[in-house]
Chain A
Amino acid sequence: AQSVTQPDIHITVSEGASLELRCNYSYGATPYLFWYVQSPGQGLQLLLKYFSGDTLVQGIKGFEAEFKRSQSSFNLRKPSVHWSDAAEYFCAVGAQFTGRRALTFGSGTRLQVQP
């Protein structure tokens, strides 16, 4: 069965600092990988996704993520964090060719941004 681990429950960074959120997945085949962001009191919004091809994917709001098959990781990065980036971030993996029609989410990483 597929699974997703986000080892950091809570991260605090200063505004303007760089950010890396970790995500490790477990899946037997090539995964479909997603990062979603949830602002307080809101639903989830897709930041970026990886299906195939270039392992470095660009998303909205200046985020990027790199797929590393050898490490089973899909870490999210941003070179300079803005106060508006404070939110909860979820990594998710989707199944391929198994007929499973949904995503498996990690437990989330809450990002706090200090001024």
Chain B
Amino acid sequence: NAGVTQTPKFQVLKTGQSMTLQCAQDMNHNSMYWYRQDPGMGLRLIYYSASEGTTDKGEVPNGYNVSRLNKREFSLRLESAAPSQTSVYFCASSEGGIGQETQYFGPGTRLLVL
């Protein structure tokens, strides 16, 4: 049982380049999330998807787009990367999604924007 997987594990971009972070879960969860983690700031929610076909903005959505491709997959896209987007990105999933369900996290993608 792989749980939540993320690709790539590490990426270096130049300012203005685009990229898509991939996330997949095999637990048949309805809800999926994208967080970013910055030193001293904990995790901040970028976007979430309560169910297949729906997405909503979180706390820090600017500069990002998401796609809930199907129940398993939830991708995060940076259209024009900026140095401020240097961070570690975590995908998570939960069976339900009203803040009380346990969230399961992937191993993270470390992104450096030069």
Contact = CB atoms under 8 A, between A and B. Distances in A.
A95 interface: yes
B98 A95 contact: yes
Contacts of B41: 107
Interface stretch (B66-74, B78-86, B104-112): B104-112
Contact of B98 (A43, A49, A101, A105): A101
Most buried by A among B33, B40, B97, B100: B100
Nearest to B107: A43
B45 interface: yes
A95 B106 contact: no
A41 B90 CA distance: 12
Size category of the binding interface on chain B? 20 to 34
A102 B106 contact: no
A45 B104 CA distance: 7
A58 B43 CA distance: 24
B56 A101 contact: yes
Contact of A44 (B31, B50, B58, B90): B90
A24 B85 CA distance: 29
A102 B99 contact: yes
A74 interface: no
Given A97-B98, A102-B58, A103-B99, 6 more contacts: A32-B99, A34-B102, A42-B107, A43-B107, A44-B92, A108-B40
Closest 9 pairs (CB-CB, A-B):
A94-B99, A43-B105, A105-B42, A95-B99, A101-B97, A32-B100, A44-B105, A105-B43, A107-B42
11 contacts: A32-B100, A41-B108, A43-B4, A43-B107, A90-B42, A96-B99, A98-B98, A101-B33, A101-B97, A102-B58, A103-B43
Interface of A: 4, 9, 32, 34, 36, 41-46, 49, 51, 90, 94-103, 105-108
